[in-house]
Chain A
Amino acid sequence: MDNYIKDRKVDSDGWMPFTGLEDGSSLPTGDIYVPVEEWLNAREALLTRNGRLGVALRNTDDPAIIKDDLDRLDLVVLEFPKMADGRAFTQARLLRERYGFKGEIRATGDVLYDQLFYMQRCGVNGFELRDDQNASHSLKAFDEMTVTYQPASDEELPLWRRQK
């Protein structure tokens, strides 16, 4: 079973990472995601395929580099290489709030119980949990906190404007 949560449910992951474009290997069928530079280099070839497409950003990338492509993508994969490295929180919010991405935003890497709540608030809805995490136990993490003060991808207004 995949250690994977999608839209607050334990799910199985139908997406395949693919990085072979440079060796000229033929494109696989099915749902694949590719590193952002392969997307930028081989956009046309990738779009001739059947099957859905996703792009993986490094956490140093400005999501603006794919903003005009988002309506052709169904998945953007973000990386949390270490728990302490929170750059992808900003990337997720920009994708959702500024660029209006409607597909899956997926967190990969050190995806741990105690961050799920924050990731969700920033617009992440797919979670590839680290191997040692338990997906069904982790569902609780989304509801540990119910009060939020500030706007984010899930709330347009701060608490003080919501009450009145």
Chain B
Amino acid sequence: MYQYSEQDHQLLLERVSQFRGQVDRRLKGELSEEEFKHQRLRNGLYLQLHAYMLRVAIPYGLLSSEQMRTLAHIARKYDKGYGHFSTRQNIQYNWPKLEDVPDILDDLAKVEMHAIQTSGNCIRNTTSDPLAGVARDEIEDPRPYCELIRQWSTFHPEFNFLPRKFKIAVSGATHDRAAVAVHDIGLRLVKSDSSEETGFEVYVGGGLGRTPMLGKVIRAFLPKQDMLTYLEAILRVYNMLGRRDNIYKARIKILVHETGEEKFRELVEAEWEKIKAGGLFLRDEDFNWVKGFFNDPAYEAIPDNDVDFENLMLNNAEFARWVDKNIELHKQSGYRIVYLSLKTAHQPPGDVTADQMDAIADLADKYSLGHIRTTHRQNLVLSDVQLKDLPALWEELKALDLATPNYNHVTDIISCPGLDYCALATARSIPISQAITARFDDYDFINDLGDVSINISGCINACGHHHVANIGILGVNKKGTEVYQLTLGGSAREDAAIGKIIGPAFEADEIVDAVGKVLAVYLESREEPEETFLMTYRRLGQAPFKERLYG
């Protein structure tokens, strides 16, 4: 994990006292709410329906147990005892008081955390693969690159007042667990044709919101040494040419679309030519320095089997289910990756209580080398668990209600806060996700359905990523009632796709049935159990689903 230098610490302390000054000026009336807004947003502080909301960054999704305990402490002391893990490796607190926020930031700074640039029209927290460094399909660990991007983008003086927010994601594996295609810039680590060099496939102009678009490949291979100069060139073109006349047309996706991919590429390459040899060019020394923070932990040389584990697999169906659904293979023999499901019928998706956070920190120390990761689908990961420890870990997770066997399955729903918290919402989303979870909460059914995703957003801003779910649900307000539009066929992975609206919207009390019908059509139509929902949908198109829903 990256270790802060004295200067990194200094920067956080200066930032906290600067923000304390801004809050002070606001409370004294020296700053108008409008001007304070620009400042607080650059520090992750939104004004919500009932209160402020504070979004804290978890750079590329990596947390130490000590950091997790601080998050628990903040939830307990300044909030109502819980926090909400978002789809972009942040945690959100829904109830902080404005005057407490500087103290919260102080507490965070002690454990090398902050809320810098977690909102506002600037470069946001860079996100990555939650399995970075442990995945079997990894080409190279993306975290050193993420850390370089974090430093480059933090308080970048030129790009702090962009036309619109700017999100970057980096994936280092063949499977995309970071949704790079729906980011303003997505970087996918690849090997060059000669296979000797590592570099990036560069996607620009992805994003959801009211005009969902997938990123375009602006460069098929960018040598890794050029990563930051190239990012700087893209951002510079965007800062000068991105639209500022209409907030809905201000994201880089619209600039790429309106300029045309070819012309946009030319603009970026022309700017890049002028700066590629500058101070941001990355040398071997720079990589060696930053990679030094992400060396493999001291794994034990252990066999990839364990008698107690295997016995329990045979004798305890519940344990076997959990292993089947929530455990993934590790690059290291004898180790496993464990998903902690934050999706039960009793909690909004992504919510974790302070007590759970503390307990998870303890489990990380006991079983997983003291680290926790957060995922795009709003779950947590213990990345380095020994096979022999799985039975004990399972017992403890069950007691914490974190062992629902549903990772990447139908009840593993992404949902935004919706009308329960959000000032922009047009409909509720959490109650819908809970109703769906309650309806389909049957292991055999979930297992039979296999890999399928449901995402829910409470308005067109699409924080719940409904466009890129296999089954997407968008809440809208139609003449005073909340109704729900159904979108089918999206994907946020390496086969990324924007889903299509299937037909007229459903009332709140019809939407769960509608989802049920869609799932039934799939189960009846698939050619074999291995054919996933998405494969079936792609083979058959909308017709049979439409027929069942509206016929």
* Chain A interfacial positions (CB closer than 8 Å to B): 62, 83-87, 89-91, 93, 98, 112, 114-115, 117-119, 121-122, 144-152, 155-161, 163-164
Interchain CB contact under 8 A, B157 and A89: yes
Q: Which residues of B contact A112 (CB under 8 A)?
A: 35
Q: Which residues of A contact B156 (CB under 8 A)?
A: 149-150
Determine the distance from Cα of A79 to Cα of B156 in the docked complex, in whole angstroms: 19
Return A55 CB to nearest CB of chain B, in Å: 18
Q: Which residues of A contact B274 (CB under 8 A)?
A: 98
Knowing A87-B240, A121-B157, A160-B289, the reply to whether A146 touches B14 (Cβ < 8 A) is: yes
- Interface size range of chain B in the complex: 35 or more
Interchain CB contact under 8 A, A158 and B279: yes
Knowing A151-B278, A156-B279, the reply to whether A90 touches B151 (Cβ < 8 A) is: no
Knowing A122-B158, A146-B10, A147-B11, the reply to whether A89 touches B152 (Cβ < 8 A) is: no
Return B273 CB to nearest CB of chain A, in Å: 12
Q: In the complex, which of the residues A86, A148, A158 contacts B159, with contact meaning CB atoms closer than 8 Å?
A: A86
Q: In the complex, which of the residues A87, A98, A147, A159 contacts B239, with contact meaning CB atoms closer than 8 Å?
A: A87
Within 207-249 of B, Cβ neighbours of A (below 8 Å) are at 228, 236, 239-240, 244
Q: Which residues of B contact A90 (CB under 8 A)?
A: 158, 236, 239-240
Interchain CB contact under 8 A, A117 and B157: yes
Return A87 CB to nearest CB of chain B, in Å: 6
Within 150-173 of B, Cβ neighbours of A (below 8 Å) are at 151-162
22 contacts between A and B (CB under 8 A): A85-B161, A86-B161, A89-B157, A89-B158, A90-B240, A91-B240, A98-B274, A114-B22, A118-B160, A145-B11, A146-B14, A147-B11, A149-B156, A150-B154, A151-B280, A156-B279, A158-B228, A159-B7, A160-B151, A161-B279, A163-B7, A164-B285
Determine the distance from Cα of A98 to Cα of B7 in the docked complex, in whole angstroms: 29
Q: Kindly count the residue-residue contacts between A and B in the assembled complex, taking CB atoms under 8 Å apart.
A: 105
Determine the distance from Cα of A144 to Cα of B155 in the docked complex, in whole angstroms: 13
Within 265-306 of B, Cβ neighbours of A (below 8 Å) are at 274, 278-280, 285-286, 289-290
Determine the distance from Cα of A159 to Cα of B244 in the docked complex, in whole angstroms: 32
B121 CB-CB contact with A under 8 Å? yes
B3 CB-CB contact with A under 8 Å? no
A-B pairs, top 7 by smallest CB distance, nearest first, are A86-B161, A121-B157, A151-B279, A147-B11, A118-B157, A157-B279, A149-B151
Determine the distance from Cα of A144 to Cα of B39 in the docked complex, in whole angstroms: 14
B12's nearest neighbour on chain A, judged by CB, is: A147
Q: In the complex, which of the residues A86, A93, A98, A144 contacts B162, with contact meaning CB atoms closer than 8 Å?
A: A86
Determine the distance from Cα of A39 to Cα of B239 in the docked complex, in whole angstroms: 26
Q: Which residues of A contact B5 (CB under 8 A)?
A: 163
Interchain CB contact under 8 A, B35 and A83: yes
Interchain CB contact under 8 A, B161 and A83: yes
B253 CB-CB contact with A under 8 Å? no
Chain B 2-42: CB-based contact to A (< 8 A → 1; otherwise 0): 00010110110011011001100000000000010011000
16 further contact pairs, Cβ within 8 A, besides A146-B14, A148-B157, A160-B289: A83-B161, A86-B160, A86-B239, A89-B161, A90-B239, A91-B240, A114-B39, A118-B155, A145-B15, A147-B7, A147-B10, A147-B14, A158-B228, A159-B151, A160-B151, A161-B286
Interchain CB contact under 8 A, B286 and A160: yes
Return B176 CB to nearest CB of chain A, in Å: 28
Determine the distance from Cα of A81 to Cα of B285 in the docked complex, in whole angstroms: 42
Q: Which residues of B contact A93 (CB under 8 A)?
A: 158
Knowing A114-B39, A146-B14, A159-B7, the reply to whether A152 touches B155 (Cβ < 8 A) is: no
Q: Which residues of B contact A115 (CB under 8 A)?
A: 161
Interchain CB contact under 8 A, A84 and B121: yes
